[in-house]
Structure 1
């Protein structure tokens, strides 16, 4: 069981913390960091995190636990998203701890900094582990600054850069918010979590420091291995909470075909495909699935990958479907095959039948990316 990358985590899916609560008047009680982290599940995660580091307990408490407590005191019981993953009281803390646990597990697969001498790698080992922890913990912290409006019991509006709330509070999500703004907003808050002496230590190593700052600014394309570890750990946490199982896809190195297929599919979904159209569309999104018109999307994906100079892309759709299925990129139909037959019924009364590939939403949207609204019509599966 421990041989699988994700199986060692001591839970299957996330659930609301057993100390999550609202007062009768709708306000959420302000809690100390110790109270917030006292649940059995969070204590077990903290224990696992400690065992993944190479420091003793006192060093762990100072270097890692103290910043985690500061993080908890700031985010309190705010959810990690409005209606996607970890969308419950305490979701931000749970998601933050889960990502750290996954990231430290992945970090064991790398000797960092890549390409340096063994002496340099040994000297910087714990610094890179610390960078992994802080990048994982803080990459979403900007959400509490720009995605939610928090009102304190006193009537004042809480602004995250002013420090912890110190009062009971209630919150609502900002309508029309910019969904990627939270990446840039992390810079408002991470100095409240990472002590200056730790930043001084990490800033001695230019490659590490640059990668960490890029992650915290949401610029993962510039963050190298550190950013890849955070993205893959983020996907793992989201997938488990939503009941998905993208182990093989998120664990694959970037230069493997399955990883390139996944990255290409994400690119098309976010930039090119027409989704949830009232009539002809490239796909439709429901509450628990993405239904992609099989031939259209496969042809578009192949063309996109070939334009990027990627080799080894199957030239036949039937072979491509098998690769999708073998690598856990699609959900098989009840007969164990790749293709689903389904009828689309639009709110306008338009309907048509297509052959589809079914994809889990957790493969496409990671933490910090709220999903588009579900299709207003229906998708009726015909081959169940």
Structure 2
């Protein structure tokens, strides 16, 4: 007898019997048979069969057997606690969808392009089979690192020893219960220990027949380790498919279940891109002239935002969905994931001085060089000196600073006197005064970058980050400028970048990044800019690195 989808959900929601030691608030999961488990995925399995393009017997032998073994391992487990594919059966659905799109992507690629036609005819089916397996098992590591499964008596499932369905059958369990490991760290290499539970040795032997590359590429994809000096097309298809599947699920979950946590799956793609660049790109060989990577006694540094631009180009070529493009967003994600470490509480990036250089560079610091350098042969040599640049302390002032004269409605701030002020007679902006009135930062070539909260809308973040970047040398004429209480950004700059001004102001208001002229007043300001009276917003200077918020006038914030 089979159950409908609604009946299955009702069964999963039924509380356990009073004889268990668990509270009725935790219904657990029903120990459904595999046939019942796969009934809800019949449509997707039919699409996989059509895409695989073989007869029924071959499909059941090559694909359906794998699907059943995978379902026996993951059963009704969610993929995440409160993010993508967080519903019962989420990990099963995630694996099947990723496997389907990965398999579909093989139609547009030639894996053994340098071989003869007869050799390709023999290997292409094995490449397609391996790509399907890699997509299906890409998240198997979560069984080992993220969840603890117990029966009603509290006995834990030994995930390394047997599939979950087999363990449930051995214990004659009617329900099982899930706990999420606190602060679990993603360790994709653990997926290799679960792989034999899904892929039999006979399948591995068939994949390796007549070649020595398919299985290594398959294992590299599942473990998250790049194949050095080779292009892993199989892994490229899986990564692209997984990003698409997660992005689609997050978009669908927004309508049905509220707002899920965006961004938590992106660091894996960023780290993977960093590793691939370090292993293949000549410009990323550490300690070479004009290199992106510098390895000194005080750690491994990545020139920023140049390194972010390389990562962005690589991920754009991968055609991954939902990948951030702004260096500021990448930096926040990698800092939150522990890949980078910040220079301090108020500064995320570091200043480094390479051997023979006269001026320091802005860079990020890896929490461990092994994140990108592990496995590189020969390993790079470490410079004998530290790379962090610490400017000498400023000489003591001869006397108290001259108090600034009373500002007009919104004078251009002297901290940015190195930036050409807008042309025209600005009635609201006083001329920049050089000399004693200038901030010490005015003489140093500071690097200006947006440091917005993670919750800021990505489109608004990218538009604002690009506008702030024009303050730096070599980035074109500045399109924003400093006033007494912050950084003035014309609303036209959002329009030019495809963002509605009302949408931008609402997003910036929600993150309390705006400065108002008066409390409870409108968020817009009016200044003469390039000879024209211009409407814009004033950004709080604490959200722009390179500016010293203490030197700006105190003004009402948006949330006041």
TM-score by length of 2: 0.48
Aligned equivalent of 2:125: 126
Partner of residue 81, structure 2: 82
Q: CA deviation at 1:55?
A: 2.0
In structure 2, the residue matched to 1:158 is 157
Comparing 228-237 with 113-122, greater Cα deviation is found at 113-122
Q: Say if 1:295 and 1:317, in contact at 8 Å, map to a contact too.
A: no
Cα distance change, pair 258–120 in 1 and its aligned pair in 2 (3 A): closer
Shift of 1:66: 0.8
Query: 2:369 maps to what in 1?
Result: none
1 CA distance for matches of 2:247 and 2:469?
Answer: 25
Alignment RMSD (CA, Å): 4.5
| Equivalent residues in 2 for 1:338-357, closer than 5 Å | 342-343=508-509, 345=511
Structure of larger gyration radius: 2
Q: 2:150·2:156 contact (CA, 8 Å) conserved in 1?
A: yes
Alpha-carbon contact 1:333-1:340 (below 8 Å) kept: no
Deviations along 1:88-123, one digit per CA (max 9) or x if unpaired, are: 111011111111111111111101124333222211
Q: Deviations over 1:212-264 (max 9, x none)?
A: 010121224657111110011001111111117xxxxx9x9958669599576
Q: Is the 8 A contact 2:149 2:176 kept in 1?
A: yes
**Which secondary structure state, in structure 2, belongs to the residue aligned with residue 160 of structure 1?**
coil
Q: Does 1:24 align with 2:32?
A: no
Distance in 2 separating the partners of 1:354 and 1:56: 65
Secondary structure of the 1:153 match is coil
Q: How does 1:161-240 map to 2 (within 5 A)?
A: 161-163=160-162, 164=164, 165-166=167-168, 167=173, 168-178=175-185, 180-181=186-187, 183-204=188-209, 205-220=211-226, 224-240=232-248
Give, in whole Å, the separation in 1 of the partners of 2:457 and 2:463. 18
Q: Residues 77 and 88 of structure 2 are in contact (CA less than 8 Å); yes or no, is this contact kept in structure 1?
A: yes
TM-superposed deviation, 1:298:
7.4
2:105 maps to 1:106:
yes
Cα separation, partners in 2 of 1:236 and 1:129, compared to 1, 3 Å: same
How far 1:193 moved relative to its partner? 0.6
Shift of 1:292: 2.8
> Do the aligned residues in 1 keep the contact of 2:207 with 2:215 (CA within 8 Å)?
yes
The number of residues matched between the two structures is 314
C-alpha offsets along residues 185-218 of structure 1, whole Å, 9 cap, x if unaligned?
A: 1111110111211111112322211110101212
Task: Report the equivalent of 1:34.
Answer: 35
Any stretches of 5+ residues in structure 1 without a counterpart? Answer: 1-15, 245-249, 307-313, 319-324, 356-379
SS at match of 1:37: helix
What's the CA shift for 1:150? 1.0
Q: Take 1:287 and 1:188, find their aligned partners in 2: how far apart are those partners? A: 39
The answer to whether the 8 Å contact 2:138/2:191 transfers is: yes
Q: Give the unaligned 5+ runs of structure 2.
A: 17-26, 253-268, 270-311, 348-449, 480-494, 516-536, 540-557
Could you list the per-position Cα deviations for residues 46-86 of structure 1 after superposition, in whole angstroms to 9, with x for gaps in the alignment?
01111111321111111111111111111111111111111
Contact 1:99 1:230 in 2 (8 A): yes
Contact 1:148 1:174 in 2 (8 A): yes
Q: Which has the higher contact order (CA 8 A, sep 6+)?
A: 1
